[in-house]
Structure 1
Amino acid sequence: MAPTPTSLVFKVRRCKPELVAPAKPTPHEFKQLSDIDDQEGLRFQIPLIQFYKYDPLMKGRDPVRVIREALAKTLVFYYPFAGRLREGTGRKLVVECTGEGIIFIEADADVTLEQFGDSLQPPFPCWEELLFDVPGSGGILNCPLLLIQVTRLKCDGFIFALRLNHTVSDAPGVVQFMMAVGEMARGATAPSLLPVWQRHLLQARDPPHVTCTHREYDEMVADTIVSIPVIDNMAHRAIFFGPTEVSTLRRFMPDHLKQCSTFELLTACIWRCRTIALHTKPHEVVRVLCIVNARDKFNPPLPSGYYGNVFAFSVALTTAGKLCENPLGYAVELVKKAKDNVTEEYMRSVSDLMVIKGRPHFYGVGSYVVSSVARARFGEVDYGWGKSIYGGPAKGEVGAIPGVSGFQIPGKNSKGENGIMVPISLPVQAMERFVKQLDCLLKDQQVTDKKSKFIVSSL
């Protein structure tokens, strides 16, 4: 588990940012976001990145020009992306479809793909240079909804980086848009899957009524507060879980959990090790918020082509003492139950809660937020140069507080083995304890920590 390499330094020359508008006139109208889109916890920008090799069959074709033209054509169909967010009564977000366009940056870097190493994983060195934060562009209201930078490399490969206002789309939604750009770049005249707005399908009911328990939106209660670790000196690692590591963890599951998903297994493992590493007191409440894609929960199904947010922050909750004194299966069972709680009625209840409680942020104190992009298909987007060699988050986490959120990302290690990469950020000393705990879990050994107030169980 080597630290993520960040020593690579290179220079990027950027052209002046420009606005790419739809290639044809589009309607000027106002489109409301859904009440799943419209929650405080989604009012941020999320960065994504893709790395592409040179393809001799594309010799003489400029990826910057190809993608810029494809974006303009795609925005004719996805014209809300070319608009701007406004805020109305009750903090309700609405897209004004102005046709102004998205920000596009053309760039060149004096680096090759090979210099990034055998195993591409976030956080990427100098990633801010590969996705330049144009001053004044990063707000939620009255700002472009997408910022895209295409960077040519010395090896004739290129990097496509995108920043998305998360209120407008989730991972499947933005991948749908990127797939459409790829199709247009390869010569299509229209996307094979046409976009569907219809955000009214996930609006609150009239009258709104909360029917499920939503501990993810608990108000701050004094006796549940867990102090946030010092973040001045953070360590970053990307932990690779290949077939061997996953099989080892699964081997110690009780019979009724043998078929748990890899997401459930790894989420429980990271949550437990992280809680121990942070020296969380046994009585303190800890939670993991699992981001659960709910697209398959609706009957009738949501329309194909719907590209809004369709997920829940489902919570598993316990005390640090119970989490760490019990075998790993205890945590897996909590995570599995949290995921299984997400139904169509659960999503309706979240929409209603947003209206009743004023669009609250999810509960962040003592929480660890986990999202898997293993099925999001970022790596399958083809702009004409084939599939990317890495596609997914540009950083290992999102949000304002380092170490609180994380992704599970499909990837390969230096041996070429397929697996799941889990970027982790923790204070330096906590990272040392985390690595020690994880190593011992994988070896079925018990660790004694003098500062812990509980006995850490083995697998």
Structure 2
Amino acid sequence: MAAEWLSFTVRRREAVLVAPAEPTPHEFKELADVDFQGTTRLQISGIWVIKEALSKALVFYYPFAGRIRGGVDGRRPVVECTGEGVLLAEADADIRLDQFGDALLPPIPCSEQLLQNVDGSEGLYDTPLLLIQVTRLRCGGFAMGVRLNHILSDAGGLLQLLKATAELAMGAPRPTLLPVWQRYLLQARDPPQVSYAHREYDEEEPVKFEDSVLRSFFLRREDVRALKSRLPGDMQKITSFDLLTACVWRCRIAALRLDPGQRVRAMAIVTGRGRCSAVVPPGYYGNSFAHPVALSTAGELCGNPLAYAVQLISKAKSEMTTEYLRSTADLIVVKGSATYTSSIGSMIVSDLRQLGLRELDFGWGDAVLFTPMHSDEVFHYYFHYTNTIGEEGVVVMLRLPAPAMERFAEEMESIMKDC
């Protein structure tokens, strides 16, 4: 079914607060310096959850049931663990999952109905830290939308809460992985020791695209393998992330038709989970990522073989170490904040494939799809997808001005034809 012809109606009940199922400590918890990166000062959208299991999970993850309080007398914000709860809205949609067809990819028609705002809930301070909408579909399935206050947690931390909720929904007495707060592990050192240049936070002229469009591109596994075959033999072990990001970066810059001498940046959101265990122990659910950056000029990026961009991405990603994460925390304190600039020559990539979100099972089976609903001019997302004929692959989701998006599609098609 073509996306432009798909429409449906959602009837939503009034949102309610879901509090922890048992009493929890009323206390103030300090956040880590890494929680104050520019990319965390927002609320992000995602998915899911079931009321009773969520209430039980909040006993373990009780800071989610609290509120962010603004800093007083020059002090930074803290989490007040009030036990008030998170917002949950139930809804019903007059549509079946199979009616979406390929329109299930962003931009999803009428997606705004799957996560409707609750008045007074969108601020960073003094508001619920999670807004969840569970929408029942006519086929018996359901869609779950989640908006997270990013200053408390990143996608990996949110996933821990959701996995705990799913386990409790399936009858487990407690989560397999217990939560760890310990934000002091990612506090700045005293004195701060900024040991990297952190060009990801260089100030550049911000841009707001006019008449921009959101679009998703599906690459089959066979397409990714064919793309990799174009690289030299000594690069055949590079990751699909490095390959995809290099490809998307080149196509994006070519589509924007930038001056050959203009500096361009590709930033990869890299988590410290699993690679920085000294400061990110198992169970840690705070923000634990950084944005190592690859730099080039538009002319060099588009004029060199694809392997050139792949090497830049791989090198940048390899910089993500415990020291890099500590240096990021130190930089935030030294500068007072660390905010990326939405410049025309910059892109940030978030790979959601490794989170295991499709395997979340609340008792109805694995999820069919996990996807962000929106993106800005800088953020690009990767996520798993299986098309309507059963082919598995990866979706690249991004936003560009309409004319540039057409050129981007042509660039991507040209690269794939050369494989």
TM-score of Structure 1 vs Structure 2, range by shorter chain:
over 0.9
Q: Kindly provide the amino acid, as one letter, of the partner of residue 283 in structure 1.
A: G
- 1:346-379 Cα deviation digits (max 9, x unpaired): 1000000000101120233121110101110111
Change (3 A) 1:418 1:307: same
Deviates more, 1:82-91 or 1:21-30: 82-91
Contact 1:49–1:394 (8 Å) recurs in 2? no
| 1:7-46 alignment runs, 5 A limit | 7-46=5-44
Give SS of 2:79's match.
strand
What TM-score does the superposition give when structure 1 sets the normalisation length?
0.87
Give SS of 1:296's match.
coil
Q: 1:374 aligns with which of 338, 344, 353?
A: 353
Residue number in structure 1 paired with 2:146: 162
The whole-number CA distance in structure 2 between the counterparts of 1:293 and 1:272 is 24
Contact 2:106–2:214 (8 Å) recurs in 1? no
What TM-score does the superposition give when structure 2 sets the normalisation length?
0.95
| 1:84-123 alignment runs, 5 A limit | 84-88=67-71, 90=74, 92-117=76-101, 120-123=104-107
- Unmatched runs of 5 consecutive residues or more in structure 1: 51-63, 445-458
- 1:365-406 Cα deviation digits (max 9, x unpaired): 1211101011101111111111111124233x2xxxx33211
The whole-number CA distance in structure 1 between the counterparts of 2:64 and 2:7 is 33
Are 1:76 and 2:59 matched, yes or no? yes
Q: Kindly provide the amino acid, as one letter, of the partner of residue 369 in structure 2.
A: Y
Q: What is the alpha-carbon root mean square deviation over aligned residues?
A: 1.9
Change (3 A) 1:229 1:85: closer
The whole-number CA distance in structure 2 between the counterparts of 1:169 and 1:179 is 15
Residue number in structure 2 paired with 1:456: none
Contact 2:13–2:89 (8 Å) recurs in 1? yes
Are 1:257 and 2:235 matched, yes or no? yes
Q: 1:431 aligns with which of 398, 402, 405?
A: 405
Give SS of 1:390's match.
coil
Q: Kindly provide the amino acid, as one letter, of the partner of residue 310 in structure 2.
A: V
- 1:439-459 Cα deviation digits (max 9, x unpaired): 111122xxxxxxxxxxxxxx8
| 1:223-238 alignment runs, 5 A limit | 225=205, 228=207, 230-232=209-211, 234-238=212-216
Give SS of 1:391's match.
coil
- 1:403-458 Cα deviation digits (max 9, x unpaired): 321101011123211111111322221111111111111122xxxxxxxxxxxxxx
Q: Kindly provide the amino acid, as one letter, of the partner of residue 383 in structure 1.
A: F
Contact 2:358–2:368 (8 Å) recurs in 1? yes
Change (3 A) 1:229 1:32: closer
Are 1:358 and 2:321 matched, yes or no? no
Q: Kindly provide the amino acid, as one letter, of the partner of residue 356 in structure 1.
A: V
Q: Kindly provide the amino acid, as one letter, of the partner of residue 38 in structure 1.
A: F
Residue number in structure 1 paired with 2:273: 295
- 1:56-115 Cα deviation digits (max 9, x unpaired): xxxxxxxx8xx1111111111111000011122556221010111111101111111111
The whole-number CA distance in structure 2 between the counterparts of 1:436 and 1:268 is 16
Q: Kindly provide the amino acid, as one letter, of the partner of residue 184 in structure 1.
A: L
Contact 1:204–1:355 (8 Å) recurs in 2? yes
The whole-number CA distance in structure 1 between the counterparts of 2:191 and 2:129 is 31
Deviates more, 1:89-98 or 1:281-290: 89-98
Are 1:126 and 2:110 matched, yes or no? yes
- 1:249-276 Cα deviation digits (max 9, x unpaired): 1111123322111000010111111111
Residue number in structure 1 paired with 2:136: 152
Q: Kindly provide the amino acid, as one letter, of the partner of residue 263 in structure 1.
A: F
Contact 1:373–1:409 (8 Å) recurs in 2? yes
Change (3 A) 1:319 1:264: same
Are 1:410 and 2:408 matched, yes or no? no
Residue number in structure 1 paired with 2:282: 304
Q: CA deviation at 1:119?
A: 6.9
Size of the aligned set, in residue pairs, is 417
Give SS of 2:227's match.
helix
Change (3 A) 1:87 1:125: same
Contact 2:209–2:400 (8 Å) recurs in 1? no
Q: CA deviation at 1:301?
A: 6.3
Give SS of 2:47's match.
strand
Percent identical among aligned pairs is 50
The whole-number CA distance in structure 2 between the counterparts of 1:140 and 1:107 is 25
| 1:181-260 alignment runs, 5 A limit | 181-220=165-204, 225=205, 228=207, 230-232=209-211, 234-260=212-238
The whole-number CA distance in structure 1 between the counterparts of 2:193 and 2:213 is 44
The whole-number CA distance in structure 2 between the counterparts of 1:98 and 1:8 is 42
Contact 1:229–1:278 (8 Å) recurs in 2? no
Contact 1:119–1:414 (8 Å) recurs in 2? no
Deviates more, 1:246-255 or 1:131-140: 246-255
Residue number in structure 2 paired with 1:143: 127
Contact 2:178–2:283 (8 Å) recurs in 1? yes
- 1:323-348 Cα deviation digits (max 9, x unpaired): 11111111111111110111110100
Q: Kindly provide the amino acid, as one letter, of the partner of residue 74 in structure 1.
A: A
